[in-house]
């Protein structure tokens, strides 16, 4: 097992290892005075892991209730959020009680936002069950729901009390969803860590899960500790995301987040090489690694459509969009680009 300490507006540990779900009750007991805990999960994850989580919590002396909603991004909305708050109120969850987010990014974001706002803030624990949630969304305190106008437009920075990642949960992930998380893992290698990039290149999908998840969490921890509220260094985590957001939006979200980010990273790498910001070798290494993981690097959408969708991304600041651009493997820069030049930048990367 690996333990990573995060010190932000709240300090907490990220525990990563095989079989940890059965230790959930014991770990929560160390941290929370709660008498009652509410497991929040979705219709795919709860049947797989809900009972194991609940019995571990019951063995530790907690009264356990559960709120399960239909799996999928469509559930990350105001209606389900209010249903969850009403459920917590009707079940007399108090300020000293605790929520457990058992699932992927949707579950974590929604539960975190409910925890941030119910009774003006109660404790919550992240138990990520997807690779994407393990390496990214469960750590760092971004919580949100989607609005009809866009993803994650309503949210709060609210750190969990603990992140407990049982790597065994990845064994039941459909391969496609596992690959989605791999796009975020590749992102950390490109952004910060040539050794991680080399490990992924050597082992492909057979990479060492516990070590790689721990390394990604360490890298994210360092960024969150430097810039918890996303005003500078943390923006780099958006490598591939602005153009990826355009791909997701153009496909009406039929292209998943990880695949869209993979396409976004490839477009940025190709454009960066054409603008002589990085070498052809760097661009080729990035595109080849994305392809090695079975992720896409091309899109059917044209530069104008991607540009229009990318403009609605919430990372836009006035007349400028902050792109993240690779200079070399492990070294990326914040690259503010005028909105008027964004379409031609995308065109160069197609
Ligand atoms: N997922 C990007 C961040 O946490 O900042």
What is the pTM (predicted TM-score) of this model? 0.94
Q: How far apart are CA 143 and CA 137, in angstroms?
A: 8
**Whether the predicted pLDDT of 342 surpasses 60:** yes
Atom of ligand 1 nearest to the CA of 234: 5
From ligand 1's centre to the CA of 188, what distance in Å?
11
From ligand 1's centre to the CA of 224, what distance in Å?
9
Residue with tokens 């990214």: 136
pLDDT at residue number 253: 85
Provide the CATH topology of domain 175-349: Dehydroquinate synthase-like, alpha domain (1.20.1090)
From ligand 1's centre to the CA of 223, what distance in Å?
9
Q: How far apart are CA 333 and CA 296, in angstroms?
A: 23
Residue with CA at minimum distance from ligand 1 atom 3: 237
The candidate with the shortest Cα–Cα distance to 154, out of 78, 73, 79, is: 78
Greater pLDDT, 317 or 335:
335
**Whether the predicted pLDDT of 252 surpasses 90:** no
pLDDT at residue number 138: 97
**Whether the predicted pLDDT of 204 surpasses 60:** yes
pLDDT at residue number 315: 61
Judge if the beta carbon of residue 234 lies within 6 A of ligand 1: yes
Structure tokens at 205: 């999908």
**Percent share of the chain, pLDDT over 90:** 91
Report how far apart, in Å, the C-alpha atoms of 295 and of each of 38, 53, 171, 254, 267 are.
Answer: 36, 32, 19, 15, 13
pLDDT at residue number 265: 98
The mean pLDDT value for 2-22 works out to 97
Question: What CATH number labels 2-172?
Answer: 3.40.50.1970
* 77-86, 163-172, 289-298, 313-322: range with lowest mean pLDDT: 313-322
Judge if the beta carbon of residue 237 lies within 6 A of ligand 1: yes
**Whether the predicted pLDDT of 317 surpasses 70:** no
pLDDT at residue number 174: 93
Condensed to tens digits (0 to 9), the pLDDT of residues 131-188 reads 999 999 999 999 999 998 888 999 999 999 999 999 999 999 999 999 999 999 999 9
The mean pLDDT value for 282-295 works out to 98
**Whether the predicted pLDDT of 296 surpasses 80:** yes
**Whether the predicted pLDDT of 314 surpasses 60:** no
From ligand 1's centre to the CA of 143, what distance in Å?
10
pLDDT at residue number 316: 63
**Whether the predicted pLDDT of 313 surpasses 80:** no
Q: Where are the domains of the chain?
A: 2-172, 175-349
Cβ–Cβ under 8 Å, residues 188 and 135: yes
Judge if the beta carbon of residue 142 lies within 6 A of ligand 1: yes
Averaged confidence pLDDT in the chain: 95
Condensed to tens digits (0 to 9), the pLDDT of residues 119-146 reads 999 999 999 999 999 999 999 999 999 9
Q: How far apart are CA 298 and CA 317, in angstroms?
A: 27
From ligand 1's centre to the CA of 228, what distance in Å?
10
């Amino acid at each position: 097992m690996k333990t990573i300490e995060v010190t932000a507006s709240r300090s907490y540990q990220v525990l990563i290892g095989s079989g940890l779900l059965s230790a959930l009750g014991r770990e929560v007991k160390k941290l929370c005075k709660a008498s009652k805990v509410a497991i929040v999960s979705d219709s795919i994850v709860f049947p797989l892991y809900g009972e194991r989580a609940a019995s571990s919590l019951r063995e530790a002396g907690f009264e356990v209730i559960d709120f399960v909603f239909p799996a999928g991004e469509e559930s990350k909305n105001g209606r389900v959020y209010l249903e969850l708050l009403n459920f917590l109120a009707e079940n007399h969850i108090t300020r000293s009680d605790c929520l457990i987010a058992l699932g992927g990014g949707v579950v974590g974001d929604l539960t975190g936002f409910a925890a941030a706002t119910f009774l003006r803030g109660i404790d919550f624990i992240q138990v990520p069950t997807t690779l994407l949630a393990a390496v990214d969304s469960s750590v760092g305190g971004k919580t949100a729901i989607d609005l009809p106008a866009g993803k994650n437009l309503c949210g709060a920075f609210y750190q969990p009390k603990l992140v407990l990642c049982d790597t065994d949960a990845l064994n039941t992930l459909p391969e496609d969803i596992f690959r989605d998380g791999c796009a975020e893992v590749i992102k950390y290698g490109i952004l910060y860590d040539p050794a991680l990039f080399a490990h992924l290149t050597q082992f492909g999908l057979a990479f060492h899960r516990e070590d790689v998840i721990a390394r990604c969490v360490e890298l994210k921890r360092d960024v969150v500790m430097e810039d918890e509220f996303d005003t500078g260094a943390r923006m780099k985590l958006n490598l591939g995301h602005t153009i990826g957001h355009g791909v997701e939006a153009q496909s009406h979200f039929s292209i998943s987040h990880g695949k869209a980010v993979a396409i976004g990273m490839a477009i940025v790498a190709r454009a960066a090489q054409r603008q002589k910001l990085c070498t052809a070798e760097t661009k080729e290494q990035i595109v080849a690694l994305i392809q090695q993981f079975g992720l896409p690097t091309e899109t059917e959408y044209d530069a104008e459509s991607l540009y229009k969708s990318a403009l609605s991304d919430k990372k836009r600041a006035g007349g400028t969009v902050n792109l993240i651009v690779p200079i070399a493997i492990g070294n990326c820069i914040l690259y503010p680009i005028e909105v008027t030049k964004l379409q031609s930048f995308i065109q160069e990367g197609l």
